A and B are shown apart, each in its own frame.
Chain A
Amino acid sequence: MFDFLVFSLTVAGIYALMALGLNLQAGYAGLMNFGHIAFAGLGAYATGIAFTLGWAPLAGAALGVLAAMALGWCIGRIGNKLASDYWGIATLAIAEILRTIAINEDWLTGGSNGISAIPSLFDGLGRPWSGLAFLGLVMLAVAVCALLCRRLGDGRFGRALRLMREEPQLAACMGYDLRSLKSRTLMAGAAITALGGSLYAHYMSFVSPDYMFPAETFLLWTMVMIGGVGSTAGVLVGVALVQAANVLAPFAREVLGFGSDVAGALRLGLIGLILLACLLWRSEGLVPEKLRKMP
C-alpha cells in the first residue's frame, strides 16, 4: 500500500510537470497544442538513447530538453499564420509523425519494443528509500517549475502572453512580436515537459511508442481544463483530481469485478466525462485565473 502511494504520487508529480508545460502554452498564451505529448516523448526517448550510448542521466535529460525546445521552435514557426483550430490539428499531426517514426526506426528507438532496462536514479539506496528519493526529486522539480511558471506568468512576459491571447491585434500594435512570443512560450513549455518525460523514462526504466499516444495529450488537457486554465495552482489541483480518478479505477475494477476492457473503458470514459462536465458547467475551471480588469 505504501509503495503504491509513493508510486501514485511520483507519477502525479511527473504529470504535473507536463501539465505545467501545457498550461504555459494553452493557459497563458491560448495556443491549442494537441500534440503536447511529443515533447514528453522526446524527453523520454532522449534519455533512453543516451542510456544505450552510455551517457550520464543528466546528459540524457539535457539532450531531451534541447530536442524538445528545437521542436517547439519549429512548431511555433508553423503557427505563424494559422488559425488556432487549424494549428491544433497540425500539432496533432506532428506528434503522430513522431510516434510513427518511433515505431518504425528500430535501430534508434527499438521499434515497438522500445528501450528497456534504463536504470532508475537512486538504485543504490535499497528498496523503500530509492522510491522515496525519486519522489523527493520529482516533487522538488515540480516545486521549482511551478514557482518558475508563476513568476513567468505574473511578470512582463506573462502579461504580454495574456494580451496576445485576448487581443492579438492590440498586442501587435503595442510592438510585441507575436511570432517570437509564441515560439518562446512553446520552447519554455517544451523544456519543462521534456524534463517530465525524461524522469518518467527513468522511473519506469522503460520507454516505448505507447508513451506518445494522443490520448496522453488529452489526459493533460483534461488536467489543465479541470483545474483552471492559466492558473498554476489550478493545474496542480487538476492533476491531483485526475490522478485520483486514475488510481481509483483499478480499485473499482477489483470491487465490481470488471474485465480489463471495461476497466480501461471506465478510466477513459471517466476522464472524458469529467472534462465535458467541466467545460459545460465551469469552463474557467475549479481555480479560475485572476485577470486584472481595467476600470
Chain B
Amino acid sequence: MFQFLIDALLRTADLALVTLGLSMLYGLVKFPNIAHVQYAMFGAYASYALYAAGAPLVGALLIASVVTGVLALGLHLLIFRRLLRAGPSISMVGSLAVSMLAIALMQGLAGSFPRMFKLGHTAPLTIAGAHISYTQFYFVCTTVVLLVLVMLLLFYTRLGRAMRALTNNAALANASGLNAERITFLVSFASGMVASLGGSMLSLSTGAHINLGNDLLLPVFAAAILGGLGNPMGAIAGALLIAVTETAVTNLNFGFLFGVDMKFLPVTYINAASFLILLLALLFKPYGLFDHEVRRV
C-alpha cells in the first residue's frame, strides 16, 4: 500500500512541473502550447550534455534550465507572439510545427538512442517497506520545494497578484495599468525553466531520449485540462489525480473479475488510462474540475 503511494507521488512529480508551466502560460497567452513538453526534452538533453562535459549534476540541471528558459522566451518573442495575432488555432498548429522541429533537431544532433546519466549505484532508500532510490527521493523533494515557492510567489507577492489578475480578466488588468507584455515574458521564461527542470530530473532515471516530450504530451495536457487550464494550483491537483489513476490502473488486480488469481492490465495501457480520464473530464466538466474563471452567460 505504501509502495502505491510512493509510486503515485513519483509520477505526480514527473508531471507536476511540466504541467505547472503549461498551465501558467496558458492563462496569459490563451492557447495550448504543444511545444511546451519539448522544453522538458530539450532540458534533459542539455543537462546530459553539461553533465557529460564534466559539470556537477546540480549545476548542470540549473544551467540547462536557464538555457531552456531563454529558449522558451526566444520562441515566444520570435514565433508565438506573431502567430497569436492570427488567432489561437493558428498558434496551436504553429506550436505543433515548433514541436516537430525540436524533435527533428534533437534526433539529428543526438540520434535516437537514449542517453543515460552515469550516476553510480546506491542502495535504495526503504521507508516502511517501500523502495525509492535516492535520486527519486531528491527529485520529489525538489519538486515539492519548487511548488511551494511558486505558490508563495503567486499568492504573496505583487507579481503573483498581477499574474492572477491578468489570467482572470486580461482587459481589466490592462486597463488598471499592469504591464501584460512584461509579465508574459517573465512567465514564458519561468515556464521554460520549470519544464526543463522537470524533464531533466525525469531523465535522471529514464535517460534523455527524443520521445521524452511526446510521452509526456497527453498526460500533461490531461492534468492541465483537469485542473482547469490557466489555474496553476489546479494543474498540480490534476497531475496528482492523473498519477493516482495511472498507478491504480496498473497495480489493481483484476483477477476477481475473471475468476483467476492474477490478472493485470498490460503496461502499455497506462497511457490509455490518462487519455480516458481526459475524455471523461472533457465530457462532463469541459473547463476542468478546478475552474474558477467567470464566464459570460
The reply to whether the CB of B89 lies closer than 8 angstroms to some CB of chain A is: yes
Consensus secondary structure, chain B interface: helix
Q: Are A279 and B286 in contact (CB under 8 A)?
A: no
Q: Are B103 and A268 in contact (CB under 8 A)?
A: yes
Q: Output the nearest chain B residue to A222 by Cβ-Cβ distance.
A: B97
Residues B279 and A90 in contact, CB atoms below 8 Å apart: yes
- The residues of A that contact B108 with a CB separation of less than 8 Å are 261-262, 265-266, 269
A268 contacts B104, C-beta separation under 8 Å: yes
List the A side residues contacting B278 at CB < 8 Å.
89-90, 93
User: B83, B100, B282 — which one has the most chain A CB atoms within 10 A of its CB?
Assistant: B100
* B225 close to A (CB within 8 Å): yes
Chain B residues near A218 (CB-CB < 8 A): 96, 100
Q: How far is the CB of A78 from chain B (nearest CB, A)?
A: 6
- A258 vs B45: C-alpha distance in the bound complex, in angstroms? 22
Q: Which residue numbers of A lie inside 8 Å of B, CB to CB?
A: 30, 32, 34, 78, 81-90, 92-94, 96-97, 100-101, 103-104, 214-215, 218, 221-222, 225, 259, 261-262, 264-273, 275-276, 279-280, 283
Chain B 63-98 interface residues, beta-carbon cutoff 8 Å to A: 79, 82-83, 86, 88-90, 92-94, 96-98
Kindly provide the distance from the CB of A48 to the nearest chain B CB, expressed in whole angstroms. Answer: 20
Find out whether the CB atom of A84 lies under 8 angstroms from the CB atom of B100: no
Q: Which residues 99-125 of B sit at the A interface, judged by CB distance below 8 A?
A: 99-101, 103-105, 107-108, 111-112
Q: Scan residues 202-254 of chain B and give those whose CB is less than 8 A from a CB of chain A.
A: 214, 218, 221-222, 225, 229
**B48 contacts partner chain A, Cβ-Cβ < 8 Å:** no
Asked if B39 is at the interface of the complex by the 8 Å CB criterion, the answer is no
Looking across the interface, which residue of chain B has its beta carbon closest to that of A283? Answer: B86
Chain A residues with Cβ below 8 Å from B176 are: none
Give min CB distance, A57 to chain B, whole Å.
Answer: 31
Please indicate the chain B residues that have their CB under 8 angstroms from the CB of A215 in the complex: 100
- Give the size range of B's interface with the partner: 35 or more
Tell me whether A86 and B282 are in contact (CB under 8 A).
yes
In the bound assembly, the distance between CA atoms of A83 and B90 in angstroms comes to 14
B interface vs A, CB < 8 Å? 31-32, 79, 82-83, 86, 88-90, 92-94, 96-101, 103-105, 107-108, 111-112, 214, 218, 221-222, 225, 229, 266, 268-269, 271-272, 275-276, 278-279, 282-283, 286
Taking a contact as CB atoms closer than 8 A, the residue among A97, A259, A264, A272 that contacts B101 in the complex is A272
A100 to chain B: which residues have CB within 8 Å? Answer: 268-269, 271-272, 275
Please report the C-alpha to C-alpha distance between residue A43 and residue B269 in the assembled complex, in whole angstroms. Answer: 23
In the complex, what distance in Å separates the CA atom of A290 from the CA atom of B205?
Answer: 53
Q: Which residues of B contact A261 (CB under 8 A)?
A: 107-108, 111-112
A221: B residues at CB distance < 8 A: 93, 96
